[in-house]
Amino acid sequence: MDKPRDDEDTQPAELLREYGPFPGTVAVHGVTHDGEQVWFASGESLHSMDPVTGKLERSFSVPCDAGTAFDGEHLFQLGEGCIRKLDPKTGRVLKTLPAPGQTNASGLAWAEGSLWMGQYRSRTILQVDPETGAVLRTIQSNRFVTGVTWVEGELWHGTWEDGASEIRRIDPADGRVLTRLSMPEGKNVSGLESDGRDTFYAGGGASGMVRAVKRPSRSRR
């Protein structure tokens, strides 16, 4: 793992709850939150889950081997090198765009009218035009990017490298690491989304689980 700099806030991640593993779910990839439900991608199906009860509510068959996002009205799903825009009520695909760096795509988030796409091995986060798929901006990280979320103007991303995972807040201007939440051993992050308040939802990869992680208070950041 990279050695923290003196200006980084490093702290253990506080796990609030674990969901799953879910029947028929081999792995969890992308994760998003629509204000009420948690959605997670499991490779061939996209599922919604009630975070209070932990029960699955809906499932749609769609290629979903990477990130998931919600823009307030539609779902966006990475899968097989494409970004698909979906109707969350029916699962109908409304639009398909090629994903930049198709074989390298990981996390996906929505903020400021754009999609923000993680690229795993290139360690970057791309701002993507949701209508054309054009790359508007590139933010460099220094770790593999496995999930992306914006919350209250803060950019966070998941990492999974050398057998360890973190949830990191970075400066969107230069990629500088500001906060590091170290996940417990064996609890890896394969997708990431905030509920817009004080909770992150993180995909657990091949564990087939989704984990709720406490977002630190501003006094801790």
**Mean pLDDT of each 10-residue bin along the chain, 221 residues long:** 60 96 91 97 95 96 96 96 96 95 86 96 95 95 95 96 94 94 96 96 96 85 58
Which residues span the domain enclosing 173? 9-220
Question: Residues near 32 by Cβ (< 8 Å), separated by ≥ 6?
Answer: 38, 39, 40, 68, 69, 70, 75, 108, 109, 193
**Angle of CA points 104, 106, 111, to nearest 5°:** 125
Whole-number Å distance between alpha carbons of 19 and 143: 26
Domain of residue 153, CATH code = 2.120.10.30
User: Tell me, what's the pLDDT at 6?
Assistant: 43
3-state secondary structure of 86: strand
Query: Does 2 fall in a domain?
Result: no
Query: Does 4 fall in a domain?
Result: no
Whole-number Å distance between alpha carbons of 184 and 138: 30
Query: Does 3 fall in a domain?
Result: no
User: Tell me, what's the pLDDT at 217?
Assistant: 80
Query: Does 176 fall in a domain?
Result: yes
pLDDT digits (tens, 9 = 90+) for 111-135: 999 999 999 989 999 999 999 999 9
For the chain, how many structural domains are there in total? 1
Query: Does 128 fall in a domain?
Result: yes
Query: Does 1 fall in a domain?
Result: no
